[in-house]
Structure 1
Amino acid sequence: MKQEEILARLPYSPPFLFVDELLSIDENGCTGTYTYSPELDFYKGHFKDHPVTPGVILTETMAQIGLVCLGIFLTGEVASGSSSHVMLTSTAIDFVKPVFPGEKVTVIAEKVYFRFKKLHCNVQMQNKEGEVVCKGTISGMVTTKLNG
């Protein structure tokens, strides 16, 4: 399955799409990027005069790249004619550095297990300097249904 096919299957659209590109993906994990536009609405009030990307948005970015994209790949939905939905079930994220408007981040996800429709991954987000800005674990349930 090609990265473009996976991105086309994501159940998000702007302004809630936090994946620009997938750099790599296989049965063990994936890597992708996103650049936070300074025009995103949440920067207007978080924090006044010193905007910082909220932790919940960083977590969502890691979930979209490291859980949903990987879940679509692992279920092989493009080839099978089905569609996957990945529902976030748990997170444990440590935030180390702030992410500012205009920053490009890279998310690296490593599959811990995928069984009984549950996907569990170790994830980390890095800034353009390769510094870890947040890391942790993320899990979700993958459901599939046949299209047609």
Structure 2
Amino acid sequence: MVTESEKTNQNKPELPMNIQQIREYLPHRYPFLLVDRVVEITDNAIVGYKNVSINEEFLQGHFPEYPIMPGVLIVEALAQVSGILGFVMNDVKPTPGSLFLFAGAEKIRFKKQVVAGDQLVLKSELIMQKRGIYKYQCTASVDGIVATTAEIIISHQKL
């Protein structure tokens, strides 16, 4: 007989989540998949990272003499890691036609530039859930220094 706690753990991903596992949770693909690894998941929080390489397409033009990761992509990376957490919190794996979509962002602050060679640590923690809408407090940091903070809102959609 399977206990309730064993049922709950059946859909939890094994950590660390590698890129193949992440692709099972996110529909994004190159060049827009911005989460390289997930290293920690709790009932309401997640930690992952994005390795920022000089080979990134967005760094070729933002800015060529001093490549900086665009802030909107940092916010997108936070939304992507939050989307993974949405599925894990609901104890389901994605199915065709079921997505967590980026619905909004509030209180965004950029505090440090993210450049080629940085490992961007992405943290997201649930602060509100209501009728398929989830709000997360998110932080992106490099070497322990906060680069970006934001409240990310995602919506569970069945297409």
Write the letter of the residue equivalent to 1:137: E
Q: 2:60 aligns with which of 27, 36, 44?
A: 44
Task: State how 1:35-114 maps to structure 2 within 5 Å.
Answer: 35-65=51-81, 67-78=82-93, 82=95, 84-92=98-106, 93-114=108-129
Instruction: Check whether the contact 1:6–1:73 (CA below 8 A) recurs between aligned residues.
Output: no
Q: Cα RMSD (Å) of the superposition?
A: 1.8
1: CA distance, partners of 2:95 / 2:72: 29
What's 1:19 paired with?
35
- CA displacement at 1:95 relative to structure 2: 0.2
1: CA distance, partners of 2:110 / 2:84: 22
Report the TM-score when normalising by structure 1.
0.87
2: CA distance, partners of 1:34 / 1:11: 17
Instruction: Check whether the contact 2:103–2:155 (CA below 8 A) recurs between aligned residues.
Output: yes
What's 1:124 paired with?
139
Where 1:17 maps in the other structure, the secondary structure is coil
List gaps (5 residues or longer) in structure 1.
none
Where 1:125 maps in the other structure, the secondary structure is strand
Where 1:69 maps in the other structure, the secondary structure is helix
List gaps (5 residues or longer) in structure 2.
1-11
Instruction: Check whether the contact 1:112–1:121 (CA below 8 A) recurs between aligned residues.
Output: yes
2: CA distance, partners of 1:25 / 1:12: 20
Q: Which of the two has greater strand per residue?
A: 1
Write the letter of the residue equivalent to 1:46: H
Instruction: Check whether the contact 1:26–1:73 (CA below 8 A) recurs between aligned residues.
Output: no
- CA displacement at 1:144 relative to structure 2: 4.2
Deviations 1:16-39 (A, max 9, x none): 111111111122111111101211
Instruction: Check whether the contact 2:135–2:153 (CA below 8 A) recurs between aligned residues.
Output: yes
Report the TM-score when normalising by structure 2.
0.81
2: CA distance, partners of 1:9 / 1:139: 17
- CA displacement at 1:76 relative to structure 2: 2.0
